Amino acid sequence: MCSILGIFGLQPGDDVQALRRHALELSQRQRHRGPDWSGVHLDDGAILVHERLAIVDPAGGSQPLHSADGDLALAVNGEIYNHRELEQSLAQDYAFQTGSDCEVINALYRQREDIGQWLNTLNGIFAFALWDRARQRFVIARDPIGVCPLYWGHDRDGRLCVASEMKALADTCADVAQFPPGHYYDSDVDELVRYYERPWREHAATDGVEVSRQELREAFERAVHRQLMSDVPYGVLLSGGLDSSLVAAVAARFARKRIEDNDTTEAWWPRLHSFAIGLEGSPDLAAAQVAAKALGTVHHGFTYTFEEGLDALPEVIRHIETFDVTTIRASTPMFLLARRIKAMGVKMALSGEGSDEVFGGYLYFHKAPDAREFHAETVRKLDALHNYDCLRANKSMMAWGVEPRVPFLDVEFLDVAMRMDAAHKMVRPGPGGRPIEKAILREAFEGYLPDEILWRQKEQFSDGVGYGWIDGLKAHAQAQISDRVFAAAASRFPVNPPQTKEAYLYRHLFEQFFPGVACAQTVPGGKSIACSSPAAIAWDAAFAKMADPSGRAVAGVHEAAL
């Protein structure tokens, strides 16, 4: 995973060398995402800059990627896991110039006219800008769920700019905005098009559909196996919760063989390393140790102090580009963990994001009244994921040049897990009769993990690193923000005004790095509470009064499990 920056719409008379220098300066602001190499493409119509984090084909594969005739220039942030299958399925030969997994995008563009059709064949995480010099045409696209970030806007001369992170465009594009997931833009038609549509978005398409536990398990195993594609040292994030533990358990089964050689040779790094972080005595550190021992991973459990987390807050907010309370709480320990991982020479880590959205794992799903409502909420959560957990995982890890991968959001796995009737996902009694979320997922992996991990109650990451983290943040904000200052929150921040003093503190820090209305509008909502959606409030009116996004705040669910 890397960073991209593009400027399109250059005109005769533009000082292209000055624009090139400007593009390089903007791209340097996101070089933490790609510290291994920089590449530039410049012609009379476009500038593309790429900062590379080399994961596949580190000796080659530098970007922008060009066609043999030089007409196509492609800058990609991401990974295409099924690139070999796509290369073998091409209707005509294509002269590949590198071993990069992303170069297949050039081949597909050259051979298939329907952009949406070939985008839907990609299994991966990506955000890219492709320039066709011969046709003076460019295409911009983002992966279906929005695992990879992407922003765009217009500079003061009307040129279209695109970048992996907002910080590269914030003071250049007054209209900077997120590029939406699952969409592409084609300059030939000047239109933003949604290409990722699935029948399972509607409950009617899933009504009565059963997916066996074996099919679910095998689909997830294939997803993890695909995403182990790497030519550099990698590991797994292991909080000791269900989701990260399942990722680690499956990865451990494949780690000894090299995926790039179709599992025929020994892996370059056959021992799987796992990583966890928390305050001293945190629930996650203890659970991660249990899971790691059972799985046989080389485990690294790190601690941080509350003061170290507090010191990192401004830098965390600058990197993750949001003032969302839940996201900042969880991003800070992940940011600190990524720094530790980077110091050990690891450049890629698998993580468990997405499972709670797919299977209704948040504690408020205990209140869901029926399968239709349950399913609609999972779709809504998936649609919003790019603003929350995907943003957190990607930007807090990539702040240190560590690429996160998320097998639960693999598009083939999603098609299996989301076509299942949500009646099979709803909360039901687990061992001992206690109601438990994600029972079907737990049942699909019986025997993979110790029961104390397989049936562990949901903890939000920001809770699991230690309850003192959230409690300390709230106390710190209470001491820093006076009642008088907080009373004027709506007038100072008219766009999505903060609802708590903690939210006010984060908004104040965000504005220092990202002033202006457009930047504020890239962050959705004023309350970032997992259970503040209209659907959840309809399930239980008490949710409407909640101003704390901690999982512990879901009264009668979390406490009952302790």
Q: What are the C-alpha distances in Å from 69 to residues 38, 130, 274, 498?
A: 22, 15, 44, 53
DSSP tag of 324? -
2 in catalytic set: yes
Q: Which of 2, 148, 173, 390 is catalytic?
A: 2
Query: Which candidate, 258, 252, 312, 304, places its Cα nearest to that of 280?
Result: 304
Is residue 104 within 8 Å of 80, Cβ to Cβ? yes
- The tally of CA atoms less than 13 A away on the side-chain side of residue 322 is 29
What is the distance between the terminal CA atoms of the chain, rounded to a whole angstrom?
Answer: 39
Nearest 5°: phi and psi at 193? Answer: -120, 130
Contacts of 280 (CB under 8 A, 6+ apart): 303, 305, 466
Torsion, Cα 306 308 311 317, to 10 degrees, reads: -90
Which residue, 91, 163, 81, 185, is CA-closest to 123?
81
Burial of 511 (0-12, 13-18, 19+ CB in 10 A): middle
Yes or no: say if 548 and 530 are a contact pair by the CB < 8 Å rule.
no
Joined together, the tokens standing for residue 70 give 């030089």
Does residue 303 contact residue 330 with C-beta atoms inside 8 Å?
no
CA distance 155 to 116: 28
Say which residues have a Cβ less than 8 Å from residue 436's Cβ, sequence separation at least 6: 427, 428, 429, 430, 442, 455, 457
**Residue 54 tokens, joined:** 């080399």
Cα separation, 503 vs 511, whole angstroms: 12
Query: Any idea which residues carry the catalytic annotation?
Result: 2
